[in-house]
Structure 1
Amino acid sequence: MRILVIAILVAALGWAAYWFIGSSAQERSVKNWLGQQQNAGWVADTSNVNVRGFPNRFDTIISDLNIADPNSGWAWSAPQMQFLMLSYKPNHIIAQWPQTQTVSTPNQNITVNSDEISASLVFRANTALALDRFTASLDNVKLNSNQGWDSQIQSAILATRRTDASEFSYDIAFDALGFTPASEIKAQFDKSGVLPATFETFSISTTAHYDAQWDRLSVEGNLPELTKLDINEANAIWGGLEVQAKGSVTLDNQGYPTGKLTVRAKNWKDMIKLAQENGAIDAGLARKLETGMGLIAMLSGNQNTLDVPLSFANRITSIGPIPVGPAPQIRSPRVQN
């Protein structure tokens, strides 16, 4: 019995020592990271970094956090940021944002209010902290700008996980309900005012292929470049407009896509009208599209629903055989050092 008691005491003291060493290391790593950003010319201030949760947790609480890049003019401030983890499972982190935070751009300040914004991150057990899977949840998020606009989203989930499709590929899914865009954006897209204020639903399931893994170095600025995007399923509903899409595109070194998507559009004539009103296509092309697409819809037996191939080649977007404009640049060109 005496030996057992001694063994328990030794184990308890050993675990306590492990926790205090680990919590000190956690606090030190946060302060070192803030110092590195300051040395790089950024603003990276906090009033306090505290690690608590003895004996089974490392809960890092960062108070009065201010991060700003003077070169770009972007900044973020929050009264508190929390990173929660089990002391025996430090590669799994729960991040919790405060209910109120502020994002600043060179032109405006945006106040973000929410019921909850949180994320679960699981890293591989290596020094690079390569991302294995990630899930973020947003609940009742509202954006208010000092420029007079506001926007909100009822709920959304973003999830990603590393796959075996290629060395640096990730399954990514996003599902959002009740998105209300800023009134200025809606007015630009919907000049005739035929669409409701709220975007009912948007969901997309993709496999994204990169030229490197997402890890600790990615967060510090060495962002992987997207090289290919497989759209397994996409669905968007906004009023009477409904669009579904599937397909795959490969990106060149400037971010322009080559490939095909199969698009199903409900009430497609309204979409052509909106594109014309927005200046994306001229009246002549709109008439040609409506005539050609109308023939395809008639052959399919449903004049309100259209199934067409959307193709990208030579930096041109085409609907079926008809070129309709330049292809989108999905990412910015890589900066050559």
Structure 2
Amino acid sequence: MKRLLFLIIVSAALWSGYWFYGASTTRSAFEGWFADRRADGWAADYDTLEVLGFPNRFDVTLTDIALADPATGWAWDAPFFQILALSYKPHHVIAAWPDLQHVATPLDKFVITQAAMQASVVLWPSTDLAPDRVRLVADTLQISASDGTATAMSALRLAAERLGPDGQPATAAPEDVATGYRIALSAEGVAPDLGLRHRIDPANRLPRTLDALRADVTLGFDRPWDRRAVEKARPQPRLISLRLAEARWGELELKAAGDLDVNPEGRATGRITVKAQNWREILAMARASGELPAGVADTLERALSLLAGRNDGIDIPLDFRGGLIWIGPVPVMDSPVFVLR
């Protein structure tokens, strides 16, 4: 019994030492990361940093956190942010966001509120912190832009996993080469901004929320997503393989699938086929909203009329080439440039 008691005491002391060493190392890593970002010219601040969870967890909580990269125009701040991990499984973490956060992009500023937002992230065990699998869930989400427009949804679900060279879930360490990720996204109860809805549907024929909004896509990047994607530069897309994207709103329905290759300048080549039900109403609503310029809408209507005749449903092949999107022999609009800042 004395030997057993001695063994228990020694084991507890060793484990306690491991936890306090791990907690100290974790704190130092976060402090060093923020100091490095400030040295790079970022605004990178927080009020308090705590590492709790003894004896089986490393629970990191930062309060009044604010990050801004002036080189790219991205910024984020929140009253707190938490990263939770088991001390014996530190590469599997849970991230938890508050019910209010602010995000600034090169295009606009947004206020995001939600009842709950959490992500489960499984990292490849290395200092690069490259995610292998991600699962994110947000409930009762609202995104408000600086002009006062707001989009709400009852739930957002996102799942992503890193792929190996064979297109299957990766089992080897990520290398600094082209890397693919399969991403599934589903948004439930999406309610577009009321002002936008009144512009495109003044007769209120459509329901308040979309019936479906989801996508299943594989994205290929020129290198893996890891800590350098935040610290230095974003990986750039090189492949977009859309298995299915679907949006249904009342009697209006859009489905899309296809593949695009993206060159280093962000220009895409390939074809996306869109299946549209009640396409004339969809086009009329896009024109009324102001999101689709009248000249582009006119060109689209002429091209689609040739394909559809009098049919309400239509399969639209969108060919990306030469910096333009084509429907058959007709160029209808400029192609987006797929570059991440």
In the superposition, the TM-score normalised over structure 2's length comes to 0.86
Q: Structure 1 residue 81: deviation in Å?
A: 0.9
Structure 1 segment 141-160 matched on structure 2, within 5 A: 141-144=141-144, 147-160=147-160
SS of aligned partner of 2:211:
strand
- Give the whole-Å Cα distance in 1 for the aligned partners of 2:66 and 2:273: 45
**Cα drift, residue 309 of structure 1:** 2.0
Deviation at 1:75, TM superposition (A): 3.6
Aligned to 1:325: 333
Whole-angstrom CA distance in 2 between matches of 1:161 and 1:89: 19
In structure 2, C-alpha distance between the alignment counterparts of 1:206 and 1:108, rounded to whole Å: 25
Could you tell which deviates more after superposition, 65-74 or 252-261? Answer: 65-74
8 A contact 1:276–1:282 mirrored in 2: no
- In structure 1, the residue matched to 2:172 is none
| Residue 137 (structure 1) aligns with | 137
Question: Any residues of structure 2 matched to 1:72-221 within 5 Å, and which?
Answer: 74-104=74-104, 110-144=110-144, 147-164=147-164, 165=166, 168-183=179-194, 186=197, 190=200, 195-221=206-232
**2:312 matches 1:312:** no
Q: Which residue of 1 aligns with 2:308?
A: 294
How far apart are the structure 2 equivalents of 1:60 and 1:327?
43
Offset at residue 38 of structure 1 (A): 1.9
CA distance in 1: counterparts of 2:116 and 2:154, whole angstroms: 11
How far does residue 215 in structure 1 lie from its aligned partner after superposition? Answer: 1.2
> What secondary structure sits across from 1:142 in the alignment?
strand
In structure 2, what is the equivalent of residue 257 of structure 1?
A: 268
Question: Does the C-alpha gap of structure 1 residues 256 and 89 become closer, same or farther in structure 2, counting only changes over 3 Å?
Answer: same
Superposition deviation, residue 146 in structure 1: 6.0
The C-alpha deviation readout for 1:310-330, integer Å capped at 9, x for no partner, is 211222212244332222222
Q: Secondary structure at the match of 1:199?
A: coil
Q: For the Cα contact (< 8 Å) 1:49–1:60, is it kept in 2? A: yes
**Matched AA of 1:288:** R
Task: Please name the residue that 1:42 is paired with.
Answer: 42
- What's the secondary structure of 1:180's corresponding residue? coil
Q: Which residue is equivalent to 2:28?
A: 28
Deviations along 1:6-58, one digit per CA (max 9) or x if unpaired, are 22211111000000000111111111111122222222222211111111100
Question: Is contact 2:260-2:268 (8 Å) kept?
Answer: yes
Aligned to 1:235: 246
Change (3 A) 1:53 1:177: same
Counterpart residue type for residue 139 of structure 2? D
Contact 1:86 / 1:92 at 8 angstroms: preserved in 2?
Answer: yes
Tell me how far apart the structure 1 counterparts of residues 255 and 26 of structure 2 sit (CA, whole Å).
45
1:326–1:64 CA distance, 2 compared to 1 (3 A): closer
Equivalent-residue separation in structure 2 for 1:246 and 1:146 (angstroms): 32
Q: Distance in 1 between matches of 2:180 and 2:23?
A: 33
Q: Distance in 1 between matches of 2:133 and 2:124?
A: 9
Q: Distance in 2 between matches of 1:195 and 1:275?
A: 14
- State the superposition RMSD in angstroms: 2.6
Q: How far apart are the structure 2 equivalents of 1:310 and 1:200?
A: 25
More moved, 28-37 vs 78-87: 28-37
CA contact (8 A) 2:300 2:332 kept: no
Q: Deviations over 1:224-273 (max 9, x none)?
A: 11101111111111232211111111012221211112221111122333
Which one is further off, 25-34 or 37-46?
37-46
